Amino acid sequence: MIEARGLTKRFGSFQALNHLDLHVKTGSIYGLIGVNGSGKTTILKTLTGILIPDSGEALMDGQPVMNNESIKARLGFIPDELYFYGNYSMKNMADFYKGIYPRWDSERFYRMLGDFELPAGTRIGNFSKGMQKQAAFILVMSHRPDFLVLDEPIDGLDPLVRKKVWSYVVDDVAERAMSVLVSSHNLREMEGICDSIGIISKGEMKIEQDLDELKSDIHKVQVAFDDDAEGMEALGRLNMVHHETRGSVHLAIIREKREKVEEVLGSASPKIMDILPLSLEEVFIYEMGGENSDVSAVLK
């Protein structure tokens, strides 16, 4: 399990994290989402022991991460900004990792090199940015971490390579109960692989929930009534995140259980009522301020 308990981090007068809690269950994939500057990278660097929090705890399997060699030997982290020794090849990096990580798997390393079609003897400095991201992934996955933390892991990768990356991650979660925390702006792919989602804003956790529950608690409703005043009264009894009218049709984003939505709106005898599922991207947009917000503009 990966946990943050009350993490607070300031950079001068800027508060990057504000008493933030986060919980990644063992053997699950947790997606961390938020707009640029919301604190995602700060969380990841604090949880992996790169940054020291001003207060709070960063824990893995209940143990502090900071200065804990036994935990860090089980931890894999791929930052958004990669670093390699300038003249090292993949073979050189493998030898380096082998001396650090006790569970280094050379057989897997060379198998992944072949799968991703990366050369073992070429200087990594000569790789493209996408190839370097693949190189980092191969190295991290070859020491078989129990905790995997990824910051924009598929940014800049083509669809076939992205599929390979997620295939390795999902297989290790299933086979070894690896715990994964991933931050990404690609919400469509996050929706396809994540079990749980955390939405952060200005360094605070806004929502943390299993993905299926998150999507089942918010709905897009299109409804029209014979008696519009009665219909508006019914809509007013629900937790509406967003509301607009298109002619005689009301479009509402409602954060309630589906059964309650059906019961309350049904009492107003609607002549048309459609309750539609929202994608993770739509949930994020509306939770962060609606389709006309800056969040929507960023994602589009």
Q: Region 266-272: what's the mean pLDDT?
A: 94
d(CA 117, CA 274): 48
| CATH (one of 3.30.70, 3.30.300, 1.10.3470, 3.40.50) for 214-299 | 3.30.70
Q: Region 255-276: what's the mean pLDDT?
A: 93
Decide if 8 contacts 19 (C-beta within 8 A): yes
> What pLDDT does 59 receive?
96
Element (H, E) at 92: helix 90-98
Identify the band that residue 298 occupies on the pLDDT scale cut at 50, 70 and 90: very low
Q: The whole model's pTM is what?
A: 0.87
> What pLDDT does 167 receive?
96
Identify the band that residue 188 occupies on the pLDDT scale cut at 50, 70 and 90: confident
**Helix crossing, 106-116 with 159-176: angle to 10°?**
150
Domain locations in the chain? 2-210, 214-299
- 2-210: which CATH architecture? 3-Layer(aba) Sandwich (3.40)
